[in-house]
Amino acid sequence: MHRIEVRLKHDFPDAKGLGLVKDIHDLGITAVTDIRVVDIYWLDADLTSAELELICRSLLADPVTQEYQYDQDSWGGDAYHIVEVAYNAGVADPVEATIMKAVRDLGIEKAKAVRTAKRYLIELKADSYQLKAISLEVICNRLLVNPIIQHVVEQKSVIFPENPQYRFKLEWVNILKSTEEALSKIKQQFGFSDDEFRAIIDYFHRRGQDPTDVELEALAQTWSEHCVHKTFKGRIKFGDITVDNLLRSTIMKATEELNKPWCLSVFEDNAGVIDFDGFWALCFKVETHNHPSAVEPYGGAATGIGGVVRDIMGTGLGAKPIVNTDVFCFGPPDFSYDRLPRGVLHPRRIFKGVRAGVADYGNRLGIPTLNGAILFDERYVANPLVFCGTVGLLPRKISQRGQQSSGDLVVLAGGKTGRDGIHGVTFASEQLTEESTAVSYTSVQIGDPIVEKKLIDALLQARNRGLYSRITDCGGGGLSSAVGEMAAETGVHVYLDRVPLKYTGLSYTEIWISESQERMVLAVPPNCVEELLTLFADNDVEATVIGEFTNDRRLQLFYHEELVCDLNMEFLHHGRPQLRAEAVWEKPGHDEPDFAPPQDLTKSLLQVLGAWNVCSKEWVIRQYDHEVQGGSVLKPLVGKNNDGPGDAAIIKPLPDSKMGVIVSNGINAKYGEIDPYWMAASAIDESLRQIIAVGGNLKRVALLDNFCWGNTSRPDMLGALVRAAQACHDMSVVYETPFISGKDSLNNEFQFEGKVISVPHTLLISAIGVMEDVSRAISMDFKQAGDLIYLVGTTNNELGGSEYFRLNGFIGNNVPEVNPHEAKELLDKLSKATEKGLVKACHDLSEGGLGVAVAEMAFAGGLGVIVHLKSVPLGEPIDREDFILFSESNARFLVEVAPENGVEFEKMMAGIELAAIGQVTDAETLEIYGLNSRKVVDTSIQKLKDAWQRPIRW
C-alpha cells in the first residue's frame, strides 16, 4: 500500500480552506486563522518509485500550484491541529473509479483499490496558543465529519478492510407454526399492519409453506407507504362522509372531469406526460428525499436529484431531462445550537449540504436548475424537506408506458449494486428518532453523477434505435420495486447471482432490495439484446441480462439455480387489504394579533424583506448551473443587475421552435396551520399566478402535487390531508389545470425528549405550462420611469399565516382564500393583455404582499416608485395601512403599463377589480403614501435591496 499526499504550494491561497475558516467563524470559534487541506490517496498496489512519481506528477498533483510526497511522514507536523477524515468502510469512495481508470491510462495496471481522505491543517491566532479540545471537537462534529459516512483517521485505522464473503443459505421465516409473540415481532420487523400481516399469513397457509426472507422483504417493499401510497388509496371515514381512495376521489377525479386531450399519460407512469407541440411531449415529476437528507444532507439530496432524473428517463420509453427544480424546507439558519436535538445536524449545515448535493449532482448531469424555493420553519429542524423535480422532453409517439412480451429479457443497466439504501423505503415511511442517525447509515445512498450521465447518454441512443420495449427506474425498493412492478402483468424470472456487485458479501435478499443509485431496468426483446449490450459497452456503461419475463404471473427469483422466492403476482400487487382510517378536522383558533399599527412602515418593510422566507436566495441560485443546454429564456434572477427574483422560469427546449416551457411552484405551509384547504388553494393559485406573471396563459398548464405530512395514522393529521386534497380537486377543475402526477411523503416527524414534532402540513404545487411564443415573455423588474403601476385583484384583510404576522409573533385566523372562478377570469384576462404587449413588467403578490412585491420590482429594475395605499382596491374595509401593505390575499398582481396604454389595458381587464396605484420614477426611492396621504414608507431602493440580500450573503 502507498500513501500519497498532495497540497497547494505555500504561496497559493487555499480557497476551500478559507471557506472552512469562514464556516468555523460562523460557529463562534474565532481563533482559527487558516486551514490548509491536504489530499490523501492510498493506493492498494506494489509500485516502484518511478511509477509513483509518474502518478503524482502526471495525475494527482497540478504542476503549477501543487506539491506532493509519498510514503513519508505526513505533512502538517507544525500545524496546531491536524484532523484527517476518511470514508467509512463500505461507503463507496466517490473518486475511486476515476482514479483507477486514470492510473490505468498511465500504463499502470496493478492498482487493486484506491481510497481517499482529507487532511486538515488548522492554524490559530498567535495569541490563542491552543484551540481548546472542545472547539476542535465542535469543528469536527459540525463541519468536517459526518459519522454516517466518515471517520477521523487514527493510527489503528484499517484503510483497505477485507470484504466479507457471502455463503448461500436459504432463510425461511417461520410463520405457519409460530407463537403469537413471535408473529408480532415479525410483523413489526417488516413493518406490516395487522390487516396486512393477516392476509400474508393466509396466503402462506394456502401455499402450505413458510415464506423465505426475501419473499417477506418483497411484500414489505411492495406494500410500503412509499411504493403504494396506501393512505391516499385507503378508505377514510371523515366526519359524515367516507372517502374511498382519496387520490381517486379528489386529485385524479379532477383530471378525469377535465379530460384534456393534451394530457397523454397521467398517474400511471413514473411521471405525468402532456403534449408540447404535437410532435414532442413534456413529462414532469417532483420527488421528495427527506429522511436521507436529514442524516446525510449531501448524499441524500444528491440522490434525490438522481432519483427524479431517472423517473424522467423511465417515463414512456424514456425522456431527456431538460429542467430541474428544487424546493427545500429547513430550520432557520440562525437556530440556536443549544436547542438542537441530539443527533440532529444544524439547519445551516443541512442547508449547505443539501445545496451542495443538489448542485454537484444536477450540475454534473448538465441539467439546468431553473426554479425553486426555500422555506424556513423551526419544525423542519430535525426533519428537513427536500423536493427535487425534473422536466423531460420525449417524442409524443413514445409517451406511453411500454409493454414487454413474455420472453423479453430483463436488463439491469448503470451502476453496480451494493448495500446502499437497504431498507430505504421502509426508512422513508417511518418516523425519525434521535437514534435514526446512528442506525440508518445503510439507508443513505451515495451517488455518482457521472455514472448517471453516461447512463442517460447511452439510454437515449438505445431509445432512438428502438432497442427495448419498456423501461423503468430502479429507485426506492430497488429491483424489488422496479422488476416487481414491471412484471406484474406477465411474471418474471430473475437470477440474482448475475447482478453485478460493488463488493462481495451481499446476500440474495440484499441484492433484491438494495437501492444503489444510477440503475435502470429495461425489457429487451431477445433479437435486440446484442446490439444493446454493445452500445452500452461502447459508452462505458454496465448492462447485464439478469432474467426474463414470463407469462405465468409469478415472481420467481433464483440464486445460483436455487429458487429463493416464488410469489403470485396477483397477491403481491392486489392482495393488500385496503387501509381503513379515521380522519377529523377542526378549525383551530389562534390568537388574533393585538399589536398597534406602527407609524413608520419603512422598518416593517425592511424587516419583512429580510425574513428568511422572503430574502434573496441568490447565493444558492448562482451555485446551480441555470444556463446549461442553452435554453433559458427567463432566468431565476432577472432585472437590471441580474439579481431580482423572477416569478417563473421559461426555457425554449427546441432550437428551431419559438415555443417555450414555463415552470413554477406554489408552497406556503404557514396557511396550513389555519386551514389546509386554503393552504392548498393558495399554493395552486400562486403557482398559476407565476405562470401568468411571466407572460404565460392557462390554456395548457398541468399540476403536480407533493404532500409532506406528519403521521397520518393520527385522525387530525389525516383530516388535514383530506381537506388539502379536496381543495386540489376544487381548484383544479375551475382553473382547468389538471393534475398529472404526484407524490406523498407521510410520517415526517421527529421524536424528541418524549415529544413528537411534526413538520407543518406542507403541500408543494408544481406547475408546468406551454408557451406558444417565448418572445412574449416579460420579467418582473420595472422598466421605465413614468410608467403606471396597476394593482390587479382585490386586497382583503387576509394576514392569517402571513409573514408580517409571524414577524410580530402571531399566526392569526384570516387565512387567504381563493375564489377560483373570479381568479380564473382575472388570470385569463391578464394573460390576454400581456399577449397584446400592454404589460411591461408583472409580479405576483405572495409572501409579504404588496410591500414586498413593489420593493422587489423597484430594486430589480433600479428604478424608484410612488404608491398610494388609498387607491388599492379593497374587497372589504381595512383601516390599517400595514394590513393593506402586507396582506397576502391571493389572485393579485402588480403590473407596469406605459401611460399611453393605460386606457386599453383597463378596457381589456374590464370586469376585474384593479386600480392604478402609483408610478415608476427615476428617483431610486420607494415612497408609499397611506390612507390619509401621509408618507408611511420612504427609503432608497438600495437600502431595500440590501435588507433583502443581506441574510443569505454567505
CB 24 → another protein: shortest distance, Å? 14
Give the C-alpha separation, 644 to 692, whole Å: 18
346 binds another protein (CB under 8 A): no
Q: Which of 2, 364, 870, 880 binds another protein (CB under 8 A)?
A: 364
CB 292 → another protein: shortest distance, Å? 21
224 binds another protein (CB under 8 A): no
CB 367 → another protein: shortest distance, Å? 8
Residue 153 has φ and ψ, to the nearest 5°, of: -75, 130
64 binds another protein (CB under 8 A): yes
HEC profile of 53-120? HHHHHHHHCCCCCEEEEECCCCCCCCCCEEEEEEECCCCCCCCHHHHHHHHHHCCCCCCCEEEEEEEE
Q: Is 289 a catalytic residue?
A: yes
Task: Choose, from 226, 229, 493, 626, the residue flagged as catalytic.
Answer: 226
634 binds another protein (CB under 8 A): yes
Per DSSP, 945 falls in state H
Q: Cell for 790?
A: 396597476
The answer to whether 339 touches 284, Cβ cutoff 8 Å, is no
Q: Is 766 helix (H, G, I), strand (E, B) or coil?
A: strand
Find cell 511509477 and name the residue.
51
The total of other beta-carbon atoms located within 10 Å of residue 313's CB is 29
Q: Which stretch binds another protein (CB under 8 A): 24-32, 309-317, 487-495, 638-646?
A: 638-646
Closest to 697 measured CA to CA, from 604, 797, 836, 822: 836
Q: Which stretch binds another protein (CB under 8 A): 90-98, 158-166, 374-382, 505-513?
A: 90-98
- Give the HSE-up count for residue 573: Cα atoms under 13 Å, Cβ half-sphere: 18
HEC profile of 767-824? EEEEECCHHHCCCCCCCCCCCEEEEECCECCCCCCCHHHHHCCCCCCCCCCCCHHHHH
632 binds another protein (CB under 8 A): yes
99 binds another protein (CB under 8 A): yes
> Strands of 470-473's sheet, edge to edge?
470-473, 519-524, 409-414, 543-549, 492-495, 554-559, 562-568
The answer to whether 719 touches 584, Cβ cutoff 8 Å, is yes
Q: Cell for 378?
A: 423551526
Query: Residue 258 — left, alpha, or beta (φ > 0 → left; ψ -120 to 50 → alpha)?
Result: alpha
363 binds another protein (CB under 8 A): yes
102 binds another protein (CB under 8 A): yes
Q: Which of 69, 550, 602, 623 binds another protein (CB under 8 A)?
A: 623
630 binds another protein (CB under 8 A): yes
Q: Which helix (H) or strand (E) holds 549?
A: strand 543-549
Query: Residue 423 — left, alpha, or beta (φ > 0 → left; ψ -120 to 50 → alpha)?
Result: left
626 binds another protein (CB under 8 A): yes
Site string for another protein, 491-530 (x = CB under 8 A): ----------------------------------------
Closest to 718 measured CA to CA, from 107, 235, 216, 215: 235
Number of residues in contact with another protein, rule: CB under 8 A? 68
949 binds another protein (CB under 8 A): no
Give the C-alpha separation, 420 to 506, whole Å: 11
Residue 775 has φ and ψ, to the nearest 5°, of: -70, -5
User: Which residue, 119 or 379, has its beta carbon nearer to another protein?
Assistant: 119
User: Which residue, 529 or 694, has its beta carbon nearer to another protein?
Assistant: 694
Residue 382 has φ and ψ, to the nearest 5°, of: -95, -10
HEC profile of 76-94? CCCCCEEEEEEECCCCCCC
Q: Which of 49, 65, 130, 403 binds another protein (CB under 8 A)?
A: 65
28 binds another protein (CB under 8 A): no
User: Rounded to the nearest 5 degrees, what angle is found at the Cα of 421, between the Cα atoms of 420 and 425?
Assistant: 165
Give the C-alpha separation, 718 to 231, whole Å: 9
454 binds another protein (CB under 8 A): yes
The answer to whether 89 touches 163, Cβ cutoff 8 Å, is no
Q: Cell for 182?
A: 413471535
State the pairing for strand pair 81-87/150-152: antiparallel
User: Which residue, 714 or 783, has its beta carbon nearer to another protein?
Assistant: 783
Q: Which of 95, 113, 923, 931 binds another protein (CB under 8 A)?
A: 95
What share of residues in the chain are helix, strand, coil (percent, to 5)? 35, 25, 40
Task: Choose, from 81, 229, 289, 346, the residue flagged as catalytic.
Answer: 289
877 binds another protein (CB under 8 A): no
Under rule CB under 8 A, which residues in 760-789 are in contact with another protein? 774-775, 777-779, 781, 783
Under rule CB under 8 A, which residues in 533-562 are in contact with another protein? 538-540
CB 540 → another protein: shortest distance, Å? 6
Q: Which stretch binds another protein (CB under 8 A): 242-250, 449-457, 517-525, 866-874?
A: 449-457
Q: Is 574 a catalytic residue?
A: no
User: Which residue, 364 or 880, has its beta carbon nearer to another protein?
Assistant: 364
Q: Cell for 621?
A: 441560485
Q: Which stretch binds another protein (CB under 8 A): 97-105, 118-126, 468-476, 827-835?
A: 97-105
CB 542 → another protein: shortest distance, Å? 13
Closest to 275 measured CA to CA, from 402, 401, 397, 403: 397
User: Which residue, 28 or 107, has its beta carbon nearer to another protein?
Assistant: 107
Site string for another protein, 226-265 (x = CB under 8 A): ----------------------------------------
User: Which residue, 467 or 702, has its beta carbon nearer to another protein?
Assistant: 467
Closest to 305 measured CA to CA, from 420, 405, 229, 387: 387
Q: Is 874 helix (H, G, I), strand (E, B) or coil?
A: strand
CB 56 → another protein: shortest distance, Å? 11
C-alpha distances out from residue 303 to 358, 444, 521, 836, 895, Å: 8, 9, 17, 44, 40
Give the C-alpha separation, 896 to 786, whole Å: 10
**556 - beta bridge partners?**
493, 566
63 binds another protein (CB under 8 A): yes
Q: Which stretch binds another protein (CB under 8 A): 189-197, 328-336, 362-370, 683-691?
A: 362-370
359 binds another protein (CB under 8 A): yes
**65 - beta bridge partners?**
none
CB 184 → another protein: shortest distance, Å? 48
100 binds another protein (CB under 8 A): no
CB 457 → another protein: shortest distance, Å? 8
Q: Which stretch binds another protein (CB under 8 A): 74-82, 615-623, 680-688, 843-851?
A: 615-623
User: Which residue, 65 or 189, has its beta carbon nearer to another protein?
Assistant: 65
CB 815 → another protein: shortest distance, Å? 34
Site string for another protein, 888-927 (x = CB under 8 A): ----------------------------------------
CB 644 → another protein: shortest distance, Å? 10
The answer to whether 228 touches 221, Cβ cutoff 8 Å, is no
Give the C-alpha separation, 123 to 32, whole Å: 6
Q: Which of 36, 652, 689, 945 binds another protein (CB under 8 A)?
A: 652
User: Which residue, 591 or 627, has its beta carbon nearer to another protein?
Assistant: 627
Per DSSP, 340 falls in state P
Q: Which stretch binds another protein (CB under 8 A): 275-283, 625-633, 811-819, 881-889?
A: 625-633
Active site residues: 226, 289
The residue ranges that bind another protein (CB under 8 A) are: 9, 11-13, 15-16, 18-19, 58-60, 62-65, 94-95, 98-99, 101-102, 105-107, 359, 363-366, 448-450, 453-454, 457, 538-540, 621-635, 637-640, 642, 652, 655, 774-775, 777-779, 781, 783, 861
